[in-house]
Structure 1
Amino acid sequence: MQTSQQKTLDLTYTKPLYVEDADHRTIESMQFSTMSQSDVLNAAECQVQLHDGGEYPRKENEYYDHGNPVRGGLLDPRMGPAKKFGMACETCGGSFNDCPGHFGYISLELPVFNVGYLSTVLDILKCVCKSCSHMLLDKELRDDYLRKMRNPKLSPLKKTALMKTIVKKCSTMASGKSIKCPRCGEMNGMVKKEGGCLVHDQTKSGNDFPNDCQSAISHTKDSRTHINRSTYYLNPAKVLKIFKHISDKDCELLYLGDRPEKLIFEKIAVPPVAIRPSVPVDGTNSNEDDISERLRLIMVANAALRNVMLEGMSKRLDKWDYLQAMVSLYVNSDTRIPSNVLIEVGKPLSGMTHRLNGKNGRFRGNLSAKRSEYTARTVISPDPNLKINEVAVPTRMALILTFPERVTHHNIEKLKQCVRNGPLKYPGAKMVRYPDGTSKMLQGNYRKRVAEELTIGCIVDRHLEDGDVVLFNRQPSLHRMSIMCHRVRVMPWRTLRFNESVCNPYNADFDGDEMNMHVPQTEEARTEALTLLGVQNNLCTPKNGEILVASTQDFLTTAFLITRRDTFYDRATFSLLCSYMGDAMDSVDLPTPAILKVR
């Protein structure tokens, strides 16, 4: 007779049940924004910069000093361990596998544009005065637009459209002729992008050129061709000064959601070492991630700008342009660099945008379609002998996919045999996990001993077997019946097979289609899959109640043709049809022929 403790063990779940907190809170809204300079400083653990001497002297292209990451460099130990063995994070004390990484920062000598938001910066400059940062609209029109923008019933899309209307209104006013600021009376002309720079054109105002920009333009290479007395560049420092004086009401009117000075870099956040791993080759060399190389080039350009800050304006502008180019390539490596900026052409390096965009980016490659365990994918083929809720799984797949089954009084003998068979013989097992948290792989000759020591409460990762619950999916998953729950039937050959009647919900055919199979890893997941996703529970589409799981096309036509009243078969053909309907090994008792003679 089982004791109460044994009964309790039999009912133990493979995973603790999730119980929702009674004191739960609901998220009301979320807002995304770029990091301000104070946010970068608060998130950072250290400053990253090139040292020209002192306690840690090094060359510009060195990451390691005698095999150890340079302190204050791009692999600073405070941002996470750079090596897998023998290093710990100086911030949290975690190992290479445990530490999530920490941020650093690079302080730029002069501000630069964030190339990802250059069009937004241009739109803002079109709408505000370049002298006092006030909106280029009269009071009545400004108040009218602000009242519309504050309307709580206005959707975000309509607010964006209203913002574009405001920008167009200010641009139209400025493109025809220079307009006077309603507050300070300063003349404002058209703002446009030329050769990677922002230009303020005051040609039609007749104003003289601002004094603070005369020296900068006189040293510019293209000053004769692109700039006249009434046109000057809006450099990042000037734009930052304008943005800092824009009122919060005007930010609300332009539907920015945050302060515009965040769109200009003064400090650059250095990502943790964990997302840009370093691969040491020998004692002196290493293979560095593209992001690390981009940051190194920014540091070199920043150091060069620092060295010429006290020299002539022309050298400073050249180095400032070079720093802007390096930061732009770090954000987006496809950015077009102006012809007057000479950059070294080495191996192509990707920027941060490449990590996010495209098929192999973070969103599509790692979040939407990330690689997962306990899944299989191969070509599909039909098998009318299977039930509608069954899927035939090749033995080769069943040898790889496992399910963690807890040992009870009912299955202990079966699981002992699986342990004896090991991972290479079907039906077998790959691993045994004990209640104390330890585990043992079943690769050696000690499997018989492990099988004899198997006790109630252990978990055996056994091969898939007949009757196991799996999720079956065909991409693209366009509606809820694109993924349904089936029972496993392990069979030979190398394709996933299922009944043709289930083709319709998957929109599948057998001209080379592939499908995915997922193995739930807990009893709760199996139960939920059977209840919600079982084929027998999804026979009709929720769209209009139409039957989806049914005979269609060739399946239906063939059934009609072979059962017609005027269709007759001789003994050989009829025997062949009977062998198709079974597995060709059953004994079939043929009925009496309908016609004996003539044939």
Structure 2
Amino acid sequence: MRRAQDTIQYTKEPYIEDVGPRKINSIHFSMLSESDIYKIGETQGPASKNGFCATCHGSFQDCPGHYGYLALALPVYNVGYLSTIVDILKCICKSCSRILLVEKERVDALRKMRNSKLEPLKKSELFKKTVKRCTSMASTKKAVKCSRCGYINGMVKKATGMLGVIHDRGRVTDNSFEECNSALSHTKDSKASISLPVLMNPDRVLFLFKKMLDEDCELLYLSDRPEKLVVTNIAVPPIAIRPSVFVDGGNQSNENDITERLRRIIEANASLHKELSETSSAAKNLAGWAVLQMEVAQYINSDVRGVPLQMQADKPLSGFVQRLKGKQGRFRGNLSGKRVEYTGRTVISPDPNLKITEVAIPILMASILTYPERVSNHNIEKLRQCVRNGMNQYPGAKFIRQIDGTLMSLKFSARKRLANELKFGDIVHRHLEDGDIVLFNRQPSLHRMSIMCHRARIMPWRTLRFNESVCNPYNADFDGDEMNMHVPQTEEARTEAVMLMGVQNNLCTPKNGEILVASTQDFLTSSFLITRKDTFYDRASFSLICSYLGDGMDPIDLPTPAFIKPVELWTGKQLFSVLLRPHADMRVYLNLTVTEKNYSKKGETMCLDDGFVYFRNSELVSGQLGKATLGIKHTYSHKTTTGNGNKDGLYSVLLRDYSAHAAAACMNRLAKFSARWIGTHGFSIGIDDVQPGDRLNKIRKAKIDEGRDQCDELLRKYHVRKLDLQPGCDADQTLEASITQKLSNIRDEIGTACMRALHWKNSPLIMSQCGSKGSPINICQMIACVGQQAVGGLRAPDGFIDRSLPHFPRKSKTPAFDL
């Protein structure tokens, strides 16, 4: 038994593994009470740069600063909570401090407020209902009699023109002032009304708040005691957050605005102390109290209303509210957005040879920015070479932080000796190298994808370069745009950037799941031309284009040629089959049907314009690829079928059925080979592309002549007052609407004829059909006619006296056709 007891006594408890990080159940915010401010009051820090702190004994650089306190002669209101103070006073008796509701209503409201399932917003609404109930009782009866002490309570409101609270009992209609009325009945001033002191001073309010029960505080949804809303002493912030700026060689100092506010509070407080000590203070009605109240209010919020002219400072002094709010405040200026180091900014350029996850960084920028890499067994030789190269030779390093914390600069030090003495655990601040994680940003940052993570690619020249497919989330173009690059400085930051902000993980927007990173412009044009029905390549050309797809190391399997005799030929559509599935080991089997812009709704796969795109098991069976298949969302309102290039586009299906890596790899291959293809074949616009032919000129002249006759007929009917009025319009409005409609019809008809007359090789037509740029209206305006421009649905208004342009006669309504 003894051994068994000993065994039980000395048996170790089993090890319990930590279940994970602890969770925060709740956070409680409250104001500091009078005693709390007394407790934190200490010596505020060293008075000069050479001194030491009497509290923590730290130097000027090491001492974080400590709070002090300033005791006020009389309490004042906290201007930030003045509305809350008024709401509380509306609900309590001004004699016994109990809630003004009758007992049954009080118990019901308290029971609802204590409901643990009630949301905070619902509790706030319940508090507002309580205030409204107490206020309505006072407004209807002109006064509310406390059910517990019998005191008559009047209306409570904010004072106008000053900081204070008014308790208006001058309109009490019951018999509570019969003694005063009977005493005044035999005097000359019998008809005078009784004047009661209506202004509630903070001392009286503090006394009432201290008498309040905790139950009543709970009923009014107060998280803490209400007496904390009245300031009795001020916490003086440390010198570290209100430093003095020395000027004129240190002979004079410019004090911080907070320090200046504190000085004025001390002066007002001393004046009030003196006023209280004098025997005739009652006669003076303590005018210094109002001054102290206003100074403390401006200390908190310098924009408070009702400041007398004599109390306004010569230069505006900011309070604590001004430090926090606005663009330059702590939240927006210092927390949400900061001035940071390890960042670069320059002009951007396109580079389709880069992956969508890469950004090309100029070597000059890469040799200035650094990353602190810790020395290990795997990288010690690389870092030794960086240390030998030093600051001015790439790839080099700038600093070494040794294990003991010593920072060694490589500008003048013996670099070879430091490289040989490099130890595991040292940190080398090396230049940026290929593969480093960087953040890429274009302002204004309007959504999450305005800043994303890329991998660095160190290259010559002076611009930041990236793949054009990533332009859309940044809303970037290359007409002089500049972008920012940031270098995360810890492994944790790099990991978070890759996982949360990587381009590959943000191909679609969280707003509605639409693809944002997709092919654009030149990529769409080349894809459209390659996949034409009449595009064929021999073995040499097809093999050359296929070589553009990979990085030189990826295997590519040539498909079976479409034609065997008399010579082996491959189609352009087969190029996209190779692009989607370059070799047999790649397990990507894409099935997709999309209608492009030129879809004619006849026969699906047998569409005459080849607008029905059909992929089966990653083979392109039919269709010319355009924006609906490869680009971002685009709908065509004039078609019954909607070409949505987002939810059912090529990259959306790859992202949905396979992975983000599959979609990104397909984008990279398409960008590389289409850029090389269009560079080899060429694609440009000349004057011949926008020159109308003889047939189109005849059609245009006939349509314009017909439109002129119709407009002249409308004008003739208008002048003889035989114009058929449109519903709700007078003659002038009917004429304008009719002429505008006729002119719009002329433009549409000429535009339709223009599109029919163009050759299929016309460059603007190709761009419009594939969706890379432009529309049929743009083509019509370039080639045929600009048409009538509408401003607000009407023709151009009169910019001169009774005419739209100076070469028109006055009051003329003629369209003035001129060829």
- The within-5 A match list for 1:40-79 is 40-45=37-42, 78-79=43-44
Relative to structure 1, the CA distance from residue 468 to residue 25 in structure 2 (aligned partners, 3 Å threshold; closer, same or farther) is closer
Of residues 52, 76, 80, the one that matches 1:88 is 52
Q: Which one is further off, 475-484 or 383-392?
A: 475-484
Of residues 86, 90, 93, the one that matches 1:126 is 90
- The within-5 A match list for 1:514-593 is 514-523=482-491, 525-527=493-495, 529-531=497-499, 533-540=501-508, 547-553=515-521, 555-557=523-525, 559-561=527-529
**Is the 8 Å Cα contact of residues 243 and 261 (structure 1) preserved in structure 2?**
yes
Q: Which one is further off, 555-564 or 489-498?
A: 555-564
The aligned counterpart of 2:288 is 319
Of residues 264, 268, 271, the one that matches 2:234 is 268
Name the amino acid aligned to 1:185.
Answer: G
The aligned counterpart of 2:149 is 184
Relative to structure 1, the CA distance from residue 205 to residue 545 in structure 2 (aligned partners, 3 Å threshold; closer, same or farther) is closer
Q: Is residue 503 from structure 1 mapped to residue 471 from structure 2 by the alignment? A: yes
The aligned counterpart of 2:132 is 168
Tell me the distance in 2 between the aligned counterparts of 1:448 and 1:160.
Answer: 69
Q: Which runs of 5+ in 1 are unaligned?
A: 1-19, 46-77, 212-226, 569-577, 592-599
Q: Is residue 305 from structure 1 mapped to residue 272 from structure 2 by the alignment? A: yes
Q: Displacement, 1:542?
A: 6.4
Tell me the distance in 2 between the aligned counterparts of 1:115 and 1:589.
Answer: 69
Tell me the distance in 1 between the aligned counterparts of 2:428 and 2:179.
Answer: 79
Q: Is residue 398 from structure 1 mapped to residue 366 from structure 2 by the alignment? A: yes
SS of equivalent to 1:342:
helix
Q: Displacement, 1:166?
A: 1.1
Tell me the distance in 2 between the aligned counterparts of 1:361 and 1:480.
Answer: 23
**Is the 8 Å Cα contact of residues 450 and 474 (structure 2) preserved in structure 1?**
yes
1:39-77 CA-partner distances (Å, limit 9, x unpaired): 1111111xxxxxxxxxxxxxxxxxxxxxxxxxxxxxxxx
Q: Which one is further off, 554-563 or 343-352?
A: 554-563
Question: TM (normalized to structure 2)?
Answer: 0.57
Q: Displacement, 1:307?
A: 0.9
SS of equivalent to 2:286:
helix
Tell me the distance in 2 between the aligned counterparts of 1:198 and 1:527.
Answer: 56
Tell me the distance in 1 between the aligned counterparts of 2:321 and 2:199.
Answer: 27
Question: TM (normalized to structure 1)?
Answer: 0.76
SS of equivalent to 1:31:
coil
The aligned counterpart of 1:61 is none
Name the amino acid aligned to 1:99.
Answer: C
Q: Which one is further off, 504-513 or 236-245?
A: 504-513
The aligned counterpart of 2:219 is 253
Relative to structure 1, the CA distance from residue 338 to residue 353 in structure 2 (aligned partners, 3 Å threshold; closer, same or farther) is closer
SS of equivalent to 1:308:
helix
Of residues 107, 125, 141, the one that matches 1:143 is 107
1:407-431 CA-partner distances (Å, limit 9, x unpaired): 4566555434433443244332211
Tell me the distance in 2 between the aligned counterparts of 1:590 and 1:493.
Answer: 24
Tell me the distance in 1 between the aligned counterparts of 2:52 and 2:320.
Answer: 27
**Is the 8 Å Cα contact of residues 131 and 186 (structure 1) preserved in structure 2?**
yes
SS of equivalent to 2:398:
strand
Q: Displacement, 1:558?
A: 5.4
Name the amino acid aligned to 1:83.
Answer: S
Q: Displacement, 1:523?
A: 4.2
Tell me the distance in 2 between the aligned counterparts of 1:322 and 1:590.
Answer: 82
Name the amino acid aligned to 1:38.
Answer: S
SS of equivalent to 1:461:
strand
Tell me the distance in 1 between the aligned counterparts of 2:273 and 2:455.
Answer: 68
Tell me the distance in 2 between the aligned counterparts of 1:263 and 1:557.
Answer: 68
The aligned counterpart of 1:35 is 32
Q: Is residue 330 from structure 1 mapped to residue 330 from structure 2 by the alignment? A: no
Tell me the distance in 2 between the aligned counterparts of 1:190 and 1:314.
Answer: 27
**Is the 8 Å Cα contact of residues 208 and 230 (structure 1) preserved in structure 2?**
no
Tell me the distance in 2 between the aligned counterparts of 1:465 and 1:517.
Answer: 14
Of residues 191, 198, 202, the one that matches 1:232 is 198
Larger radius of gyration: 2
Name the amino acid aligned to 1:192.
Answer: K
The aligned counterpart of 1:369 is 337
Tell me the distance in 1 between the aligned counterparts of 2:259 and 2:353.
Answer: 58
Q: Is residue 427 from structure 1 mapped to residue 402 from structure 2 by the alignment? A: no
Q: Is residue 294 from structure 1 mapped to residue 261 from structure 2 by the alignment? A: yes
- The within-5 A match list for 1:386-465 is 386-407=354-375, 411-412=379-380, 414-444=382-412, 446-455=414-423, 457-465=425-433
Tell me the distance in 1 between the aligned counterparts of 2:680 and 2:116.
Answer: 79
Tell me the distance in 1 between the aligned counterparts of 2:442 and 2:179.
Answer: 65
In angstroms, what is the RMSD of aligned CA positions?
3.4
Q: Displacement, 1:123?
A: 0.8
Q: Is residue 97 from structure 1 mapped to residue 64 from structure 2 by the alignment? A: no
SS of equivalent to 2:72:
strand
**Is the 8 Å Cα contact of residues 394 and 431 (structure 2) preserved in structure 1?**
yes
Q: Displacement, 1:272?
A: 1.1
Q: Displacement, 1:115?
A: 0.6
SS of equivalent to 2:132:
helix
Q: Displacement, 1:99?
A: 1.6
Q: Percent identity over the alignment?
A: 63
Q: Is residue 490 from structure 1 mapped to residue 487 from structure 2 by the alignment? A: no
SS of equivalent to 1:173:
helix
Q: Which protein is richer in helix relative to its size?
A: 2
Higher relative contact order (CA 8 A, sep 6+): 1
SS of equivalent to 2:371:
strand
Tell me the distance in 1 between the aligned counterparts of 2:179 and 2:255.
Answer: 46
**Is the 8 Å Cα contact of residues 209 and 232 (structure 1) preserved in structure 2?**
no
Q: Which one is further off, 185-194 or 454-463?
A: 454-463
Relative to structure 1, the CA distance from residue 417 to residue 549 in structure 2 (aligned partners, 3 Å threshold; closer, same or farther) is same
Relative to structure 1, the CA distance from residue 235 to residue 394 in structure 2 (aligned partners, 3 Å threshold; closer, same or farther) is same
Tell me the distance in 1 between the aligned counterparts of 2:449 and 2:197.
Answer: 63
Tell me the distance in 2 between the aligned counterparts of 1:258 and 1:210.
Answer: 41
Tell me the distance in 1 between the aligned counterparts of 2:179 and 2:254.
Answer: 49
Q: Which one is further off, 298-307 or 97-106?
A: 97-106
Name the amino acid aligned to 2:344.
Answer: A
Name the amino acid aligned to 1:310.
Answer: S
Q: Give the count of matched residue pairs.
A: 509
Q: Displacement, 1:309?
A: 0.6
Relative to structure 1, the CA distance from residue 443 to residue 245 in structure 2 (aligned partners, 3 Å threshold; closer, same or farther) is same
**Is the 8 Å Cα contact of residues 209 and 231 (structure 1) preserved in structure 2?**
no
SS of equivalent to 1:309:
helix
SS of equivalent to 2:129:
helix
Relative to structure 1, the CA distance from residue 328 to residue 589 in structure 2 (aligned partners, 3 Å threshold; closer, same or farther) is closer
Relative to structure 1, the CA distance from residue 327 to residue 531 in structure 2 (aligned partners, 3 Å threshold; closer, same or farther) is closer
Name the amino acid aligned to 2:149.
Answer: C
Relative to structure 1, the CA distance from residue 511 to residue 83 in structure 2 (aligned partners, 3 Å threshold; closer, same or farther) is farther
